[in-house]
Structure 1
Amino acid sequence: MREPDTNLDLSALKWPARLTLAGLWAERVTYAFWPFWTALFLSVVAFVLVGAMSVGLPVLGLIAVTCASGLLASLVYAWRKFQMPRWGDALDRIDRTMPGRPVTAAMDHQALGAGDDASKAIWLAHKARMQARLGEAKAVAPDLRVSKQDPYALRYVALLLLVVTLGSGSLWRSGPLDDLAARGLGRAVAAGPAWEVWIEPPSYTGKPSLYLNDVKVSELTVPKGSDLTVRLYGQVGSLTLSETVSGVPNVEGEAPKTAFTKVIQQDGVIRIEGDDIAEWQITAQSDAPPTVSAVGEVSRKLDGEMELPFSASDDYGVERGTATVSLDLASVDRRYGLVVAPEPREDIVLDLPMPIAGDRDSFDERLIENLSEHPWSGLPVTIALSVTDIADQASSNTVVSTELPGRRFFQPIAKALVEQRRDLLWSRANAKRIGQVLRTITYDPEGFFSSELAYLTVRMAITRLELATRFGISDEKQAEVADMLWQAATLLEDGRLSDALERLQRAQDRLSDAMKDGATNEEIAELMQELSEAMQQYMEQLAQEGQNDEGQQQAQGEQQEVTEDQLQQMLDEIQRLMEEGKMAEAQALLDQLMEMMKNMDVAQGEGGEGQQSPGQQAMEGLQDSLREQQGLSDDAFRDLQEQFNPNAQTGESEGNEGRNGGQGRGQSHEGESGEQGGEQDGQQGQGNQQPQGGDENRSLADRQQDLRDELERQQRSLPGKGTPEGDAAREALDRAGEAMDRAEQALRDDQTAEALGAQSDAMEALREGMRSLSEAMAQEQRDGAQEQGRPQGQASRQNRDPLGREQGSNGAIGSDEQMLQGEDAQRRSRELLDEIRRRSGEQGRPEVERDYLKRLLDQF
């Protein structure tokens, strides 16, 4: 290699190269001599083991030859493998780890362009940069891993054996192992205790074990059931155990033992007798059973939940608890539907809540459960509280007599429906009477049923109940009818705006009475919560019925807007005044709040009666279909009754009032025959019978087919497509259509009972579809309310009319002309928007027109 064409300055590589060279020495020695070290360690271990055992000369010679051969082979391997590292090797290793190979570049010379000044200048600049990079050089760590040469890690095995040998001391005092073991055992026996005694309490107590060898007292108190373990050492029979804590008498003549395991069951003495005497007085402490008690009366929360505060304790902690609710039949007022004997019903078993954090030695908790839908709701019951500890010891029952709390119903029809539901669940013997009462309730629904869906639900429940009464009421049918009556009652109680306003007024009255009677802070908090929920429900009903300015939940009073936050602030202020005893000021503020709510009702309730939205039209159409399906089901049921009473005239079966009235009128169930029956009442009363099945069933089947076609037409125009609620409504209507098809086929085959079942399924599916459609409409209203609440910065696009023109103040378009005159402005704008949406969805219109309509929707 020629000399470099510039002066070298390798001073920066001095220490990095020295350290790297030392690492190279360690690396190459390790690679070459690891077999020698392994053989050497194994030879030392073999020497120690041979010295500790009595072996013959042939075996000793074989071991010596093997060790010598291994050492010689490892030295030969090291001689061939080892290469002495040099200074240049260290520089080369450093150079390979740096970018640009600066060491090589610093010692290089210019090969081309030596006579060109420009090329020489570039070369000198490159050399200077490489020279500067040498200052960044660092030592390279050696690679001491030899796992590829030693895949089985024999070097570590040899090292481990050597460490164990050195640690045991065998290297310094090697000798026969039998002598070593004998000497060690003798010293251990001489130095160890003559006996050992342990007492281990049960794990659930959490108490530590006792080692009686270290206990300095002779009187101990331990939990009953603790384990006693005794070990006796030395010559067998020199020490004996005498104890009276286990309650098991000693057997005379039993062979001496050195190990004992007992269970401490009673007070007594533990004695070690013999050369070393020890004695302990033991007191066995019994585990006390847990206790539980009610610390307050059973109360009813706002939503009908039962709340029962209780307290429980145990010396080692309560594990679990139950509350068993049983009917107090002796205290029941046995009137009306409760006169008959009740059907057997299992007790209600509730799990008592346990503390999640902390100990369970003593705690207070509250049992909260909603049993509003249980048949015993509102009836006298007994609640037996019981807790169990971890030792399965049960407490004595604490019985609380009370009336089982449940939801309160204030709407008269809802209260009647809940009562009939209770009577049906009390005993199926009340089914006939319940059917009569329900028919009376639904005879003239005008003015009594505020919800048409609730009325149709009750009518369907009547049909199913009467059909089940004839064929036998199963448990499933009993529960199904009871569930329908509960749904109808809740719809009547909570389903309309007037009910929400009535609840709001009732909450105000209760709060006013509490002000006069001096209620406690807890009662005030509960009443304020009830008032807040009533206000929220009232405003939600306004939004659902489209009467609160496109879903915005805000009240408009005297030229100002009041938001929900401001209403909540007023409620908080009323509560604060009441808690401070300023009842007059609180009453004045409450009156002001209720006046604002009433003004909101007046302002929102004066909307005009314009064109209905597609959702409302679809809902009304489905209600008509459900009503028509109910009528078909009633007619089919009457036909089935007449089939079981063939001697009666048409319409004269027991309990059959026919379409137009009471029993014995002789009117048929179809339109034409019904008119004839009305004209020939006397003739049919003489015994002329209406033909069964046949033509009449085919007429019902035709009506069922027409209703199926109408439902299919309604499905095509159902709104809410693409939303979860809208898709659920469509699936429910598909099931209703399939049930109608089955009902039609059954009617044509004169299988009236099967037709009734299919019609019942169709009505249930229709009700579910209407419910999903209602949720879809409510979701659209909520989305509209969110759109109204978008930031001001997003309002610029919406501040345009349907033609994209900018609106001025108060709806003006660049002039003094008011475009939003009249109180029907919002209604007319909604009609226009609905018409644009309808036209944009018609695929038959030209593409240009539909694009224009979509642009209008994006801007408006």
Structure 2
Amino acid sequence: MTGPTSLVAALPDDRARRRLRLAYLVLRLEALWPAVVGLASMAALFVALALFDLLPRLPGWLHGLVLLGFAGALVFLLRLMLRSKGGDWLSAARRLEADGGLTHRPFQVLLDQPVGGDQSLWEGHRRRAVAEIARARLSWPRSNMAAQDPLGLRAGALLLLAVALAGGGHDWTGRMARALVPALILPGLGPDTLEVWVTPPAYTGLPPLLLRQHEPADDVVVPSGSTVLAVLSGGWGRASLVVDGHKTGFTVADDGGQRVESQIQGGKTLAIRQLGRDVASWPLRVVADLSPAIDFTSAPEPAERGRLHMAVAASDDHGLSRLWVEIRRLGAPFQDPPVRVELPLPAGRPKQAGSSSWHDLTAHPWAGLPVVMQPMAEDALGQRGAGEVVSLSLPERSFLNPNAQAVIEQRRQITQDRRNAPGAMGVLDRLAVEPARFNDDSLTFLALRTARHALASAEFSLPEVQDLLWNAALRIEDGDLAAAEQRLEDARRALEQAIEDDLSGEGLNRLLDQFQAALHRYLAALDERMGQPADDLSAEATEGGATISEQELQDMLQSMRDMAAIGARDGLKKMLREMSGILDALQTRTPQAPSSAASQAIRGLRDLAQRQQRLLEQSHRNAQESASSAHNAQRQQDEIRQSLGSLRQKLREGLGQEPVTLEDAEQAMAEAMTALQHGDWNGAVPAQTQALDNLSQAIRQALETMAAGSMTTPGGLPRDPLGRPAGNGSGGGDDGATRVPDQTEMRKARAILDELRRRAGELTRPQAERDYLQRLLRQF
């Protein structure tokens, strides 16, 4: 008998029994060890594949087959474990005998019974066996895996698990869940339709993104704050939107469909889960909105009349909403509010922008003092970026009139210390008692007296007094010219900003009206200062002797209105820049402007343009009346062409170059002469029209060249009509690619626009056609 009862009971003490039981367990473990190692290796391999997130990337059917393979291996190893046998109690005894070096099988002696013989001799033999059993020992369990796994696959599975834990342990729950549930579309279980839209925030300007259920598993890049809209129909159970483990349940509609809307602030995985499994999943990469960047492209520099030129370059990943420069007085406490100068920014929140603008800060109390300037930019989220700080002294205006100098000096004194108010009051009193010092101007008198009485109060408003004294000094120096100049500058800036913002319709026409009124007032004030009648606006107006009349300025304004009506934004900008250059030159003219070859040539061009206009009208009438003789018209056209040749030579002498359109004008005149020579009035009209348009463009180009040619930097470098160094790369200037439409083009565009409006107002037309016409007209 070899069962546990007989062998264990035959042992002499509990110690021997414990050793026998332990040996029995060791044999069982050694028998199960290969199956345990195989099961652990398989589990390590599966966990490694799950953490690598490889299984969800497989097709759903292949993913399912892999899971079935692992399940079959699991069943096989479990059955192997259940069927494995580690031996009986005698085998355990033999293990103790072998590990302890016992001979003659003492455990077997305890089970044997003598058939006969001397009983005392048998008992002595048993006692010796019991003594041997007391020396029995059990060594550590022995593994035979090297023989059973000669390729070392178990070590490879363990190494893969270690690598997978290092790379995917942060998201182990989600990856294990995706590995256990294949993306199988089973009939009746998965949804019938699924649409997932990701809409970026409006400020980014990016289009919505449609996520497809079976698209390649590339990262879906979305800005932070994007909105996810998912619509699902069919399938079993209520679905949920899962972003990195955070679930948002779908809302079930009356028709059985489901939808959910949520916002994405972060995460690496977006999934739609239904019936405990992911029916769709996409890897995410959420991109945070960056702060804008800005810096000066060149150091701020003063220019004519104390204006300050500032040029910056800014960028943002989704678009800029505001640019400005903060100015702080050097040495002032940091908590003092800075002066903010807004910079022009193109409409539409551009991602990159270069701004170049001029600003008159001479009226500010810090004019002439050292300051620090820092460019700033802001995006649609309110995030701000700051550039490098630049130090300089704010430009100040130089007053020539001694009385204006005295007023400005008192303004500076009370700005530095309010306790200087009594001294300023005395100076203002002395000026007020002699109105002849400021030309008996009532407005100047009222400003001085108002400032004097304000200073008498201990708690006077410093900004109010500073403004009064500044305006008084300007009127003493320039009369009404300073106020008119400021009003014109404000109107021009408002018009520039409106063009940048794509303003159209009545709003743009109102700003053009304001600009025209400010221009008329400014010209009247300028002529009054030059000692000429206010209504004589055709006097010489620019340095170098070039002249421009009020009618020509009005024609330029009318051209601007026409370009605004047809939506020619680029041409409108260029025309406004040309007029700005002319106005800048107007401010530096003298009462006795000397004549020159260039100014005489420009006047000659105007005369030629008038003669060409009369000849064009005559040709047009004769073409309608089918007149035959054209000899007289041919002679007149030849005279105009010959006169143009001499004027081109004068322009080359006076300006160093001639407008490029004059050669085109002369060629058009030659074509008109050829047509008139054959009596072809209809052929002469287009050529004469082209010649007239070329003459008009040449006059504008000559005036612009005249205005720009007199402006140079201290080093002799040329400046453009706005006073900026030409070719300095500061941005904001015209690169020559923008062409101002000529009169013929604008007339054609205006006719087309009127025809579109007429057709859009006809109620008999189909609604679809009228809607299309309204969409065309909306931009105008």
Identify the structure with bigger relative contact order (alpha carbons < 8 Å, sequence gap 6+). 2
TM-score, normalisation: structure 1: 0.31
TM-score, normalisation: structure 2: 0.34
